[in-house]
């Protein structure tokens, strides 16, 4: 077995991310524009994902809060009930994660909007979502190595983090606010 260096692994990850970004840039941009509209038009934004996808969405929640949006992480003790006018931002590579799909159904049932990030727009999650942003990456159960050589959905989770930053950046640029305008919302109890 050949020895892989950290530099080799970083190169592989970088190459896969470049391919993912190129695919997203070449895709129909209508769902991504819809995502920006949903985020900017929401009274409150709730983020929800399982495992590493959930961790990536927490990063997005922080940036959206910096932008001035009222953001909540599902599962935190201070998270209020979702209601009409709110948006649930969820991530599930397969689009079948039961807890995520059920949360999307609950949100939809009360009149909230649902924005999904997935590897497919043909899933139970996409059926409930108002918009689905597709990241062409392997799901956690795809161990074939054809879509990604990385382990267990890593490319998808990395893509969720980058997509979150891209959504934030686009919204920030549209807002006309400077970095200095956003800075007072940055954590100061560190």
Point out the residues that are catalytic: 157
Give the CA distances from residue 156 to residues 40, 49, 77, 141, 163, in Å, rounded to whole numbers and listed in that order.
Answer: 24, 12, 28, 12, 10
Closest alpha carbon to 116 in 98, 136, 92: 92
CA 45 – CA 88 distance, rounded (Å): 6
Give the CA distances from residue 39 to residues 60, 130, 139, 154, 190, in Å, rounded to whole numbers and listed in that order.
Answer: 12, 12, 25, 25, 28
Dmax over CA atoms of the chain, in Å, equals: 55
Per the DSSP assignment, residues forming a β-bridge with 116 are: 90, 132
CA 53 – CA 57 distance, rounded (Å): 6
What spatial distance separates the first Cα and last Cα of the chain, rounded to whole Å? 45
């Amino acid at each position: 077995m050949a020895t892989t260096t950290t530099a080799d692994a970083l190169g592989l990850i970088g190459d896969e991310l470049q391919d993912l970004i190129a695919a997203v840039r070449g895709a129909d941009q209508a769902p991504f524009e819809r995502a920006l509209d949903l985020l900017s038009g929401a009274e409150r934004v709730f983020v929800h994902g399982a495992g590493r996808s959930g961790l990536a969405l927490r990063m997005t929640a922080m940036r959206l809060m910096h932008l001035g949006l009222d953001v909540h992480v599902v599962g935190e003790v201070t998270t209020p009930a979702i209601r009409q006018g709110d948006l649930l931002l969820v991530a599930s590579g397969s689009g079948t994660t039961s807890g995520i799909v059920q949360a999307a159904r609950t949100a939809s049932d009360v009149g909230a909007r649902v924005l999904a990030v997935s590897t497919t727009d043909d899933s139970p999650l996409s059926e409930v979502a108002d918009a689905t942003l597709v990241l062409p990456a392997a799901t956690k159960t795809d161990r074939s190595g054809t879509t990604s050589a990385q382990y267990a959905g890593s490319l998808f989770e990395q893509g969720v983090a980058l997509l979150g930053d891209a959504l934030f950046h686009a919204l920030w640029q549209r807002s006309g606010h400077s970095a200095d305008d956003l800075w007072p919302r940055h954590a100061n109890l560190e």
